[in-house]
Amino acid sequence: MEMIPHVAKARRRANPYLDLGSYDPEADLMVLNLGPQHPSTHGVFRLKLYLDGEIIVKVVPFVGYLHRGVEKLCEKLTMVQLIPIFDKNDYVSPMMNEQSLVMAFEALLGIEVPRRARYVRTLLAELQRIASHLLWLGAFAMDLGGALGGGSTLFMYCFRERELILDVFEDLTGCRFHYNTHMIGGNRHDVPAGWATKVHAAINAIETRLPEYETFLITNDIYIERTRGVGVVDGQLSMDLGITGPVLRAGGVDHDLRRDAPYHCYDEIEVRVATATAGDCEARAAVRMAEIRESIRLVRELIDNIPEGPLGARKPIKTPLAEKAAKGHAYAAVESPRGELGIYVIGGGDNKGASPYRLKIRSPSLHVLGCLPYILPGHSVSDAVAVLGSVDPIMGEVDR
Amino acid sequence: MAVDESYRTYSHPVYDFMMKVPGLDVMTTTVDKLLSFGSEASLWIFPVATSCCGIEFMALAASRVDADRMGAIVRGSPRHSDVMIVAGTITVKMAPRVKKLWDQMPEPKWAIAVGSCAISGDFYRNIYSVVPGIDTFIPVDVYVPGCPPNPEAMMHGLIRLQEKIRASANGRDVNREARPEAVHHQRLPRLPILGDPARTSELDRQQVASAASLGWWDELNLEQALDSVAKDLADESESEPKV
């Protein structure tokens, strides 16, 4: 694809601290606010764009429109009360939030989780990853195609498949969305009889429809025109900014916590990490599509091999006693669909030590948003929407 | 035919002609019913989907629970829309923008509060940055409780709104729906809603001041607004001893 030389130069690595005073005054910059209420900002997120014609010159992102003070709330509530609240942070993959929080508390309290619970957690995580990526695919197609254009077709299809996974979750936990299925030391809901058949049916249905999506979108000429070479986040920039997840892997860095720092039962199964080298929107989409396939393979491998045994430690802890609450600190991280989701917790706070003294959430979406001032200059406004959709930020997780 | 027209504020040549012809007011009421049917059967939604409920709202618009079959289309602009669906937590930083969007919507307009965060703030209601319920700053017609409510529950909310529009067209009194009952161990949010007699003008002043402290609302000349509020407060305190 031919590119205008000065645009190509600007795209290579923009300067986010550009002093606009030195900009040519005859260029007549226009300031455009994208958000906080905009159909394609994936939540309440505001981008202040300085435009020269239609080309973006400078970008200033604003966050904080969904700041709910979760970390402050953590200092007031007990550990058990926090688990359902953490569902609401990254509301597209609530399972990962629960798991990271529960793993941090288990590390703090020194509780060993039985093998069966670890298998079930892995299974739930992989199912959740499929659902999350399906939602991303639908929303991304919507961003590219417009609300009433062709993009909404794929949106409808992706939601049809996502409902299959939500049905499976509803059978297990009773909730479509905010599950509260993890406990400190185990899982709350055991796998019901006949559940594996339903999971197989859902997974098979999704797998047969994936090629259809690729025909719709991934091999579409218009799609390639909109995404190839747009919003290149190379591996070095990702590592400088602390970006993890599909955005990092699309830039050619082979890093995945499931393989590199195994948790749950990922050390017993083989995870094939998908990577790409281009680092543009197309590469990020390709990595996510490969992750859906990989998750389907993992779910197939896991669902028939859930070991027998107890689902919780000695006795699942419902209210950790004050003397049991260790006054140490712990960090636990999981590979959420958006990257490394880490929880750092210092024990021994209020409620006689039953609540954390301090809890810090390391959310992948916040780090991903940091790349926008570097990569957006040189693109047009419509490309900004495509880039924002392709990095897949969840504002509940960014603002906490 | 003497009609008391002293209260009339609206004037249009066609309308004036119709009001003068005997019997044509029958037609105006019929047209009114037709318009009501139209607005009831084509509720265009403007979503303020901030958080988790926004994802369930997307499921409402998507394939399984198809809101389109009720004529409810999702639009991206407030100027095209009839219903504002507030789905998700509204923070202090976001609330002035929601109010601004609400003011941009043309009449007749309705609002639906979806999810416990939009209704009362839920467990975030005592957090410094969260507004305890959107009915503290915009009037809400229908509440859909849940965390998050199923798409089917949101669909039921839309049906309740349609019933309400139909009732108002038939001349029945439609009061504002009450906020769902709080569970007994929950504390009620601290801010009384708009129109509540317990709501003081001091609270209005505080909200304006907090909006002013955000620092981006300069063009609205907030100092003047604050002065006028202070003047109102002074007037009230003067008038109190007389009563």
Note the pLDDT tens digit of each residue in B154-191: 998 998 888 888 887 776 666 666 666 655 555 555 56
The three-class DSSP label of residue A334 is: strand
What residue spans define the domains of chain B? 42-169, 201-242
List, for residues A298-347, the tens digit of each pLDDT value.
Answer: 999 898 888 888 787 765 555 555 556 667 888 999 999 998 999 999 88
| pLDDT attached to residue A264 | 86
CB A93 within 8 A of CB A132: yes
The confidence score (pLDDT) of residue B6 equals: 59
Largest CA-CA distance found in chain A, in angstroms, rounded? 73
Residue A220 is predicted with a pLDDT of 77
B237 contact partners, CB below 8 Å, separation of at least 6: none
Residue A277: which H helix or E strand, with range?
Answer: none
Hey, which CATH number is domain A70-399, 1.10.10.60, 1.20.140.10, 1.10.645.10, 3.40.50.970?
A: 1.10.645.10
Best of A34, A37, A85 to mutate (most B CBs within 10 Å, chain B):
A37
How far is Cα A245 from Cα A391, in angstroms, rounded to an integer? 10
Chain A contact for B150 (CB, 8 A cutoff): yes
Are B62 and A159 within 8 A, CB to CB?
A: yes
Q: What is the pLDDT of residues B27-73, one digit of tens each?
A: 777 777 788 888 888 888 998 888 888 888 888 888 888 888 888 88
CB of A60 less than 8 A from some CB of B: no
Kindly tell me if the per-residue pLDDT of B2 is higher than 90: no
Residue B225 confidence (pLDDT): 65
Q: What CA–CA distances, in Å, run from A11 to A28, A57, A62, A104, A239?
A: 21, 10, 22, 40, 18
Residue A209, amino acid: R
Contacts of B76 in chain A (CB under 8 A): 38-39, 147
> Is residue B206 less than 8 Å (CB to CB) from chain A?
no
B65 touches chain A (CB under 8 A): no
Measured from the Cβ of residue A276, the count of other Cβ atoms closer than 10 Å reads 18
- The SS3 call for residue A247 is helix
Instruction: From chain A, pick out residues whose CB is under 8 angstroms from the CB of B129.
Output: 67-69
- Is the minimum CB–CB distance between A156 and chain B shorter than 8 Å? yes
Contact B50 A135 (CB under 8 A): no
CB contact under 8 A, B52 and A91: yes
Angle, nearest 10°, between helix axes A281-303 and A115-145? 150
At A185 the three-state DSSP class reads strand
pLDDT bracket for residue B1 (50, 70, 90)? very low
Q: What is the pLDDT along chain A (400 residues), one digit of tens a residue?
A: 445 444 454 455 555 565 565 555 555 678 888 878 876 667 788 888 888 778 888 888 888 888 888 888 888 888 888 888 898 888 889 999 999 999 998 888 888 888 888 999 999 999 999 999 999 988 888 888 754 445 677 888 888 889 999 989 988 888 888 888 888 888 888 888 888 898 999 999 999 988 888 887 777 777 888 888 888 888 888 888 889 989 999 988 888 888 888 888 888 888 899 898 888 888 999 999 999 999 999 999 898 888 888 787 765 555 555 556 667 888 999 999 998 999 999 887 777 777 888 899 999 999 998 888 888 888 888 888 888 888 888 888 888 8
Asked if the Cβ–Cβ distance from B93 to A67 is below 8 Å, we say yes
Query: E strands along A116-238, which residues?
Result: 182-187
Structure token pair of residue A256: 């995945």
Amino acid at A124: L
* Burial class of residue B241, CB neighbours in 10 A (0-12, 13-18, 19+): exposed
Contact with chain A for residue B40, Cβ under 8 A: no
Residue A226: which H helix or E strand, with range? helix A221-227
Instruction: Scan for tokens 């509530």, then name that residue.
Output: A77
Task: State residue A230's pLDDT score.
Answer: 85
Is A88 in CB contact (< 8 Å) with chain B?
yes
Alpha-carbon span B102 to B83, nearest angstrom: 10
**pLDDT, tens only, A160-219:** 889 999 989 988 888 888 888 888 888 888 888 888 898 999 999 999 988 888 887 777
Cα nearest neighbour of B52 on chain A: A91
Between strands B83-87 and B110-114, the pairing is parallel
Q: Which residue of B has its CA nearest to A152?
A: B62
Of A91, A139, A156, the CB nearest to B51: A91
DSSP state of A251: T
Select from A273, A346, A373, A377 the least CA-distant residue to A74.
A346
What pLDDT, on a 0 to 100 scale, did the predictor assign at position A221?
79
Number of cross-chain residue pairs from A and B with Cβ atoms under 8 Å apart: 90
Q: Side by side, which strands form the sheet with A46-52?
A: A30-34, A46-52, A55-62
CA distance A203 to A164: 9
Closest chain A residue to the Cα of B152, Cα to Cα? A176
Provide the pLDDT for residue A148: 41
Calpha distance B42→B48 (Å, rounded): 19
Share of chain B above pLDDT 90, in %: 3
Residue B181: CB atoms within 10 Å: 8
Model pLDDT, residue B126: 81
Residue B26: per-residue pLDDT: 74
Q: Which residue has the higher pLDDT, A272 or B228?
A: A272
Q: What is the DSSP letter of B218?
A: G
State whether residue A85 sits within 8 Å of chain B by CB.
yes
Cβ contacts of residue B220 below 8 Å, gap of 6+?
none
Residue in the block written with tokens 């490394």: A340
Give B57→chain A minimum CA distance, Å: 12
Instruction: Say yes or no: domain B42-169 is CATH 3.40.50.12280.
Output: yes
- List chain B residues with CB under 8 Å of A163: 59, 63-64
Give pLDDT tens digits for B109-129: 889 999 888 888 878 888 888
Contact (Cβ atoms closer than 8 angstroms) between residue A350 and residue A75: yes
Cis peptide bond N-terminal to A192, omega within 30:
no
**Mean pLDDT confidence for B232-241:** 64
Rounded Cα distance between A187 and A195, Å, is 16
Is the distance from CB of B40 to CB of A120 less than 8 angstroms?
no
Cα(A257)–Cα(A98) distance, integer angstroms: 17
Contacts of A176 in chain B (CB under 8 A): 56, 150
Q: By the CB < 8 Å criterion, does B153 face chain A?
A: no
A contacts of B93 (beta carbons < 8 Å): 64-65, 67
What are the strands of the beta sheet with A339-346, ordered from one edge? A329-336, A339-346, A358-362
Query: What is the average pLDDT score of chain B?
Result: 77
**How many CA atoms lie within 13 Å of B81's alpha carbon, on the beta-carbon side?**
22
